[in-house]
Amino acid sequence: MNFVNIWGATTLIVCLAVGVASPAIAQVDHDEDREFISRLFEQALTQRQSYIWLRDLCLEIGPRLSGSSNAAKSIEWVKYISDTSGFDHVFLQDVKVPHWERGEAEQAVLTDSKGNELELSVLAIGGSIATPPGGITGQVLEVGSLQEVNRLTKEKVEGKILFYNPPFDQSNIMTGASYGANVGTRSRGAVTAAEKGAIASIIRSVTSADDDYPHTGTGSYADGVPKIPAAALGVQSADRLSEVIAKDPEATLRLTMNCQWFEDAPSHNVVAEMRGSEYPDQIIVVGGHLDSWDVGHGAHDDGAGCMHALGALKLLKELGINPKRTIRAVMFINEENGTRGGHRYAELAVENEEKHLIAIESDAGGFTPRGFGVTSSDEQRKKLEGWLPLFPRNTISYFSRGGGGVDIGPLHRATGTPMMGLSIDSQRMFDLHHSARDVFEEVHPRELELGTASLAAIIYLLDKYGL
């Protein structure tokens, strides 16, 4: 019996034709760029520096909510690895950050009218007040949206626990759209509920998963509206709660949360810089945020983005780039619950009259990169699109209109600096985002490193050709 599987051979043929050369750009003077970009990808995929760093960040330090001792440790650690990477200048930017702690684990216990108890999977929404000791108990009123609450009478809501239970819309190809559609229940649900007299606000976690991990994230209160406890249930718990109260409206939920607010804490952005040799005053900044929620490892959100940014600088340095412009990696603090680091960076840029060519952020996870979303003039975006043929196949395939990042938004708004965000394959992101599932083990080394190399490639081109 003599047979040979030709899967490999077939694939090989497909794979050898890497890079889609369009006639417009396949000129001799770009061969060097194509070759260099190819080396960036090779080096990232074989060396795996971002992945090795991310492992340390996740497994040695772990989650790092603003104001926590872990956040402080992570800042110290990022400064250390930057200092020892041979960059021209590494410095901290001081900023005060909010400091909230979850405290002892939350509890949500559903008791039906026969006295049967069911424990639900729950996390406080970030920034929530605690319940009174012993918890808060009430009947549960389910709604599908903030709008629906606005249409309810106070009478119907008063004294109840309001339960936002909209399903995650799986029909969108880019899951961020579905996240965006529901995240208002988390960020504004407590205010809307309290305006109608609810005693607490709970939500179905804003997630694409169908497991029972609750997903936290930031919530808000408004002046003049009573502050009520706010929490998120795992999706399966939300389904159970919905089933039970549909049949048994007398069922009650007891919610116990031990969260606490502290004084603002001193903290820092970490900046690593390669100085420009020709135009040192033109800054290309690339960043992610170092803080994370206090569950899981903050691996995809946004350890990945920080290691993308710092890894991109290291790659350029190792491949011998002496940049014409100044290139900065910034590990911002406090994206998750305040954006203080992003605001501080913008404030200092204005104060110091810094000129930024562009600001780039990676805060969409460590999965396979697909493109960039760009907020710039059409002309600038066209210039970026002209570089598409320089990216190897199955890496960056578009520069789309609109995009940036939470941390670079303040700089963009304060100075008009163009900004863009690395667009990442989003199919898995909201399965784990802001939950205990966002751990290092969910990051694939090759996928992560493709992001690092994509950033290094675009920085290389921006440095060489401007915008």
Please list every residue from 207 through 226 that binds its own copies, using CB under 8 A. Answer: 208, 217-218, 220-223
Q: Which residue number, 45 or 348, has a Cβ lying nearer to its own copies?
A: 45
- Residues near 38 by Cβ (< 8 Å), separated by ≥ 6? 392
Does residue 28 touch its own copies according to CB under 8 A?
Answer: no
Distance CA 335, CA 341 (A): 7
Q: Applying CB under 8 A, what is the total number of residues that bind its own copies?
A: 82
Does residue 27 touch its own copies according to CB under 8 A?
Answer: no
Q: Taking the CA atoms of 222, 288, 395 and 34 in sequence, report the sign of the dihedral they define.
A: positive
Binding its own copies by CB under 8 A: which of 207, 376, 426, 452? 426
* Residues forming the active site: 335
Does residue 105 touch its own copies according to CB under 8 A?
Answer: no
Does residue 287 touch its own copies according to CB under 8 A?
Answer: no
Residue 464 dihedral angles phi and psi, to the nearest 5°: -75, -40
Binding its own copies by CB under 8 A: which of 150, 402, 441, 465? 402
Part of the chain binding its own copies (CB under 8 A), chosen from 3-11, 49-57, 69-77, 247-255: 3-11
Does residue 263 touch its own copies according to CB under 8 A?
Answer: no
String marking each residue 36-75 x if it binds its own copies according to CB under 8 A: -----xx--xx-----------------------------
Helices 304-318/69-83 angle, 10° precision: 10
Does residue 111 touch its own copies according to CB under 8 A?
Answer: no
Q: Measure the CA dihedral 246/248/249/253, to 10°.
A: -100
- Residues near 337 by Cβ (< 8 Å), separated by ≥ 6? 65, 66, 98, 100, 126, 127, 218, 291
Does residue 421 touch its own copies according to CB under 8 A?
Answer: yes
Q: Give the tokens for residue 91.
A: 């410095």
Part of the chain binding its own copies (CB under 8 A), chosen from 89-97, 135-143, 308-316, 403-411: 403-411
**Which three-class secondary structure state does DSSP give residue 62?**
coil
- Residues near 293 by Cβ (< 8 Å), separated by ≥ 6? 63, 65, 126, 216, 217, 301, 336, 434, 438
Binding its own copies by CB under 8 A: which of 63, 338, 366, 451? 338
Q: Which residue number, 73 or 188, has a Cβ lying nearer to its own copies?
A: 188
Residue 369 host element (H or E): strand 369-375
Binding its own copies by CB under 8 A: which of 91, 413, 446, 465? 446
Q: Give the tokens for residue 273.
A: 């810089």
Part of the chain binding its own copies (CB under 8 A), chosen from 54-62, 149-157, 236-244, 405-413: 405-413
Q: Which residue number, 335 or 463, has a Cβ lying nearer to its own copies?
A: 335
Residue 385 host element (H or E): helix 378-386
Residue 124 host element (H or E): strand 122-124
Q: How far is the CB of 233 from its own copies (least distance, A)?
A: 19
Q: Which residue number, 244 or 295, has a Cβ lying nearer to its own copies?
A: 295
Which residues 151-210 are close enough to bind its own copies by CB under 8 A?
Answer: 170-177, 179-181, 183, 187-188, 208
